[in-house]
Chains A and B, each alone.
Chain A
Amino acid sequence: MTAAVLTEPATPGQSGTHRTRRRAFGGGNPIVYGLALVVVAVTVGPVLYGVLGGFRTNAQLAENPAGLPDPWVLTNYAKVLTSGTFWQYALNSTVIAVTTTAIVVVFGIMAAYPLARYQFRGREQLFLVFVLGLLFPVTVAIIPLFILVTGSLHLGNTWWGVALPQAAFALPMTVVILRPFLQALPDELEEAALLDGASRIGFFWRILVPLSGPGMVTVGVLAFVGSWNAYLLPLLLLQGDMKTLPLGVADFSSEHASDTAGVFAFTTLAMIPALVFFLAMQKRIVNGLQGAVKG
């Protein structure tokens, strides 16, 4: 089951099964392609419309909403890119997402290690604490969190104020994905290391951490995307120059509601980082989600 997360290096075998599948069912007929085309059109249509809309003027959009840019104008994009606030928001989003990811990965793998490879009383109960954490969305705790972060900790409107709670809420998923991953590493490795005189901490740093690279990247990517796209917590905690891109997009959309082209340009630029990150890390995200479901 957990093999789903671990099959990464076995891609040649996978493509082999693909080939047999292809022989088994040759179904690439025109109807299939036609249907696939419809699915693609519906899926990317709205996104593409937004991207193209950014290259049009409001007059063009009002005159013929379903048309193409004619002529193409760059002013909407240029205005956003030279505005400063966009870059400030992008910086905030980046710092918060990187901080969240770093905390989640380091704390997560540390916690998953004893839960996976130590025998001790209460281990399953401790694991259950994290599993139950999956059931608590940030929504449930949002009011006390707001009071805790802005009041007691004086972290309101700071990067840390958002990153720390986000990391805490991402921990359960991380531990739940990483534990089976660490359990699946063969016992022989540990025996060999211990025979060679390594301590368990030494085993953790020198063998376990390097070997669990793929698992850490997976949970890291999930944490990053989660933080990058988060809305509710930043909405309550961040104001002014500290806002993240989703907040910026929502603000821009409500403040410049009549400037449709401008909204499209701002939104398009805000989605680029997530899309690029996704394309670069696609395999990891896909594996992570599948691992989470199958694990």
Chain B
Amino acid sequence: MPDRTAEVADRDAPSASSTPSVPSAGRTSVRPAGGGPGGRRRTGSQWRKRLEILFFTAPALILFTLFVVWPIIKAVQFSFYRWKGFGPLVDFVGLKNYVSVLQNDVFIGALEHNLIVVVMSIVLQLPLGLAIALLLNRRMRGQGTLRTIIFVPYVLAEVIAGVVWFQLLQPQYGVIDTLLGAVGLHGPEQGFLGTPKYALMTVIVVLTWKYLGLAVLLFLAGLQSVPDELYEAAQIDGAGWWETQRRIAIPLLGPTIRTWAFLSMIGSLQLFDMVWILTGGGPANATTTMATFLVTEGTKRHNFGIASAASVILFVVALVLALTYQRFVLRRDLQPSRTHKAKKVTR
């Protein structure tokens, strides 16, 4: 919207010098020597501006095109061929790779696992994160230190967290089984990660441990941006702590929660590192994800066509989810901010 009006303003500028109030309405920044008469200087500065834009954006665009856009286009192309990674791309198979991926039980299982992780991450982390954020948002000693500590797992590499948890979860000798034994419980014979029934749930618990800190941090920031007057007003009206949180803090946290959930979902769909370290997708494919599937197909079996089809499907799933979410959930948050910005500009 703003660039359109500016474009109009540009075209009008030379002739409309007598009525300067109209074009300047939609502008957000001032251009140099723009108001000056004389068409030649104007086109010169237009060219100069274009060169500047090119100069500033070219490095990023080249890098982005070479390493992001190009590989993604290639992935789409590979997905239509049967190709083992050497020789020319000649064996065009149409949609066969997609059909075989979508008929592959392992991939369908992987897709299910991804969706379970998407749902469970939110189901577990939202209430826990909210509870901890509300807890930390009270007056207490060492609040800053607590916040730092809770954030530590998020900063660790997934690989490092995974290796530590892998050791903790070792059957019999691991500390988790030992602690369970101390209270009279028995872990499964093959360990939590080695038993198909428990493996995925265990991975989800470790992921919750790893990513809860991010939820807490974001929620806490949202809570602290709630104006104190609202709390005070609620208190004057006789609301207790819990009621104040429920009626004021949590509703005001809405936009933060919705954006966090979005990031969490996208991350869950791309899950790779933690699974690769903890289980490698096993036991008996109980924890495969779309990412582990495509890496296994691509690097171990050299089925580049199949792997590429899987990666395109992964992207489409993420895109559909993102667009749906944007359409139905995030829109509410984006709308007011846009009107707010527009107000700021017109002012």
Contact among B30, B156, B298 with A194 in the assembled complex (CB-CB below 8 Å): B30
Majority secondary structure of chain B interface residues (helix, strand, loop or mixed): helix
CA distance A64 to B181 in the complex (A): 12
Contact B72 A136 (CB under 8 A): yes
Shortest Cβ distance from A291 into B: residue: B221
Contact B67 A232 (CB under 8 A): no
Contact A139 B291 (CB under 8 A): yes
Contacts of A25 in B (CB 8 A): 138-139, 231, 241, 244
Instruction: State the Cβ distance, A286 to closest chain B Cβ, in Å.
Output: 6
Contact B256 A120 (CB under 8 A): no
Shortest Cβ distance from B140 into A: residue: A28
Contact A236 B60 (CB under 8 A): no
CA distance A129 to B60 in the complex (A): 12
The residues in B between 278 and 313 inclusive whose CB is less than 8 angstroms from any CB of A are 291, 294-295, 298-299, 304, 307-308, 311-312
Given A139-B270, A191-B30: A24 touches B231 (CB 8 Å cut-off): yes
Binds B, one of A32-40, A70-78, A84-92: A32-40
Contacts of B137 in A (CB 8 A): 21
Instruction: State the Cβ distance, B81 to closest chain A Cβ, in Å.
Output: 12
CA distance A122 to B3 in the complex (A): 8
Contacts of A172 in B (CB 8 A): 64
Shortest Cβ distance from B132 into A: residue: A39
CA distance A194 to B266 in the complex (A): 43
Pairs A–B under 8 Å by Cβ, sample size 27: A18-B224, A28-B141, A32-B135, A32-B140, A33-B140, A36-B136, A40-B149, A61-B173, A66-B178, A107-B59, A110-B55, A110-B59, A111-B57, A118-B52, A135-B315, A135-B322, A139-B314, A171-B60, A171-B63, A194-B32, A201-B52, A231-B272, A232-B272, A232-B273, A247-B159, A249-B159, A294-B256
Instruction: State the Cβ distance, A60 to closest chain B Cβ, in Å.
Output: 12
CA distance A229 to B160 in the complex (A): 9
Shortest Cβ distance from B311 into A: residue: A140
Annotate A125-149 by CB proximity to B: 1 below 8 A, 0 otherwise. Answer: 0100110010111011111111110
Contact among A129, A175, A231, A263 with B159 in the assembled complex (CB-CB below 8 Å): A231
Contact A289 B315 (CB under 8 A): no
CA distance A180 to B339 in the complex (A): 16
Is the C-beta of B93 less than 8 angstroms from some C-beta in chain A? no
The residues in B between 251 and 284 inclusive whose CB is less than 8 angstroms from any CB of A are 255-256, 259-260, 263, 266, 270, 272-273, 276-277
Binding site for B on A (CB under 8 A): 1, 4, 14, 17-18, 20-22, 24-28, 32-33, 35-36, 39-40, 42-44, 46-47, 49-50, 53, 61-62, 64-66, 103, 106-108, 110-111, 113-115, 117-124, 126, 129-130, 133, 135-137, 139-148, 164-165, 167-169, 171-172, 175, 183, 187, 190-191, 194, 199-201, 204, 225, 228-232, 236, 245-247, 249-250, 253, 260, 263-264, 267, 270-271, 274-275, 278-279, 282, 285-286, 289-290, 293-294
A-B CB proximity, top 6 nearest: A168-B67, A229-B157, A144-B74, A111-B60, A141-B71, A27-B138
Shortest Cβ distance from A93 into B: residue: B157
Contacts of B218 in A (CB 8 A): 289-290, 293
Binding site for A on B (CB under 8 A): 2-3, 6-7, 10, 27-32, 49-50, 52-53, 55-57, 59-61, 63-64, 66-68, 70-72, 74-75, 78, 85, 132, 135-141, 146, 148-153, 155-161, 163-168, 170, 173-175, 177-179, 182, 209, 212-214, 217-218, 221, 224-225, 228, 231-232, 235, 241, 244, 255-256, 259-260, 263, 266, 270, 272-273, 276-277, 291, 294-295, 298-299, 304, 307-308, 311-312, 314-315, 318-319, 322, 337, 340
Contacts of A171 in B (CB 8 A): 60, 63-64, 68
